[in-house]
Amino acid sequence: MDWTISHKPAFWEGTRLAYPDVPKEHPKFSESVTVGNLVLVSGCGGKDTVTGEPAPPDVAGQVNTALDKTRAALEEAGSSMENIVKTFFLIRSLDDYGEVRKTETEYYERHAPSLIETPPSATLMVVPGLANPDYRLEYEVIAAKDRSAADWGVTYYPEFWGGRELAFPHVPKEHAKFARTQVIGGLVAVSGCQALDHETVRVETMDFAEQTRICLDKVRIGMEETGGSLETTAKTVVFIKDPARISEYREIERAYFAEHAPALADDPPASTLMVVEELPRPEFLVEVEAFGVAGSALPGWPVAFFPGAVRAGRLLFSAAIGAGGGIEAQIEAQIEAAFTGLKAALENAGGSLDGLVKTTMMLTRLEDYPVMRRVETEFYQAHAPALLENPPASTFIQLRACEGEDSLFQIDGTAVL
């Protein structure tokens, strides 16, 4: 299989987003990174960073701007919007949900009609803040460069609620629309799973433990449908609203793995937990999305578990890594400790920081953003200078809380062996 890596630089009003073209405190990331047939696009906000025009005040305007940027990035990478297999929408207010989904559908109608009938796997979250205070939303995608590439083809598995496929026009434009899973090559992307009963289209329990088990049941079903299993799950991303539930979630998850995938009880998937502002419905208490491998016999896609990271093919998924110490601790020390942990996790799995192709960086305080970018740059200078010239694709999210007592920052990464 082809695992060649190529970077497409990002620009901000004509300036390349790499050091030393921009100061250490400035955002620095690639517009996209292509790994074989997989295209990873950095999060696109609702402001046109090429022209520098102010962000539109309305949510529809920002959705169109973010999708325009995504489409341009995919085309620059030699792909197209019709090749999107996974989306991650971040919005600032749940009140905007219907308008976001409606505008997204209408954009696909104009620019990517195949995504109307076969929508991507998808996750949407409400978060306290994004990198720019003017952003009302951000849009991140994973795409194929070529949907029919040898060994890297795409397979769509539909989702159904109340007997209706979650695609337009089976559901209204304002409604959620997504695949249960999409597979590219051997990589499975499972949509965010909630405790919604798919027959009644209602949440039938408000018990956190029951909701968690329903979410994990859906992840298992999604993986099995692709020929994989819960034990070939490489990465989970967990979203909850209440930071007091973090430990409870992990206890329920461990018990679930012990029952349904005993190998994961001792060697769980890499995992990132985010405490968000709200989930797509107020009655949702938890949501889980996942990435894994479609079939154990698929050549070129071994699954192997290491402390803090899991290998899927030649991809390495890290868990979220943070450092505690609280507000009294220097944020620089927390961020540097997290990057040190990420480097160690990748090396323990046989990779290196030089192979980093995607990061998700998370802070609880927006005022720490410039410090985060400075420490990131200085860490790359010291440990992976190649990332200064070709930084990873990246998305930034402000969270209500990070996993880990008193943690103000966490990072997860995807690397290539």
- Least confident stretch, 13-17, 48-52, 121-125: 48-52
Q: Is there a contact between 369 and 335 (Cβ–Cβ < 8 Å)?
A: no
CATH of 186-301, one of 3.40.190.10, 3.30.1330.40, 2.30.130.10, 3.40.30.10: 3.30.1330.40
- Tens digit of each residue's pLDDT (9 = 90 or more) over 81-119: 999 999 999 999 999 999 999 999 999 999 999 999 999
State whether residue 33 is helix, strand or coil: strand
pLDDT band at 356 (very low <50, low <70, confident <90, very high): very high
Amino acid type, 118 = T
pLDDT band at 297 (very low <50, low <70, confident <90, very high): low
What token pair was written down for 265? 């009880």
Alpha-helical regions (H) of 5-143: 59-76, 97-111, 114-117
What token pair was written down for 222? 């999604």
The CATH number of the structural domain formed by 1-178 is: 3.30.1330.40
Q: Is the pLDDT of residue 185 over 70?
A: yes
Q: What is the average pLDDT value for the chain, to the nearest integer? A: 96
**Whole-angstrom Cα distance, residue 165 to residue 154?**
19
**Whole-angstrom Cα distance, residue 282 to residue 333?**
36
**Whole-angstrom Cα distance, residue 335 to residue 340?**
9
The third-level CATH classification (topology) of the domain covering 323-383+395-412 is: 60s Ribosomal Protein L30; Chain: A; (3.30.1330)
Q: Is the pLDDT of residue 324 over 90?
A: no
Q: Is the pLDDT of residue 328 over 60?
A: no
323-383+395-412 shares the fold of 1-178: yes
Between 244 and 50, the higher pLDDT residue: 244
**Whole-angstrom Cα distance, residue 150 to residue 318?**
27
- Tens digit of each residue's pLDDT (9 = 90 or more) over 47-88: 998 888 889 999 999 999 999 999 999 999 999 999 999 999
The predicted pLDDT at position 147 comes to: 94
- Tens digit of each residue's pLDDT (9 = 90 or more) over 203-229: 999 999 999 999 999 999 999 999 999
Q: Which residue in 66, 72, 87 sits closest to 289, CA to CA?
A: 87
**Whole-angstrom Cα distance, residue 386 to residue 152?**
27
Q: Is there a contact between 190 and 223 (Cβ–Cβ < 8 Å)?
A: yes
pLDDT band at 300 (very low <50, low <70, confident <90, very high): confident
**Whole-angstrom Cα distance, residue 371 to residue 392?**
18
Residue 292: strand pairing partners: 188, 233
* All structural domains of the chain with their residue ranges: 1-178, 186-301, 323-383+395-412
Environment class of 344 (CB within 10 Å of its CB; exposed 0-12, middle 13-18, buried 19+): middle
State whether residue 86 is helix, strand or coil: strand
Average pLDDT over residues 3-27: 96
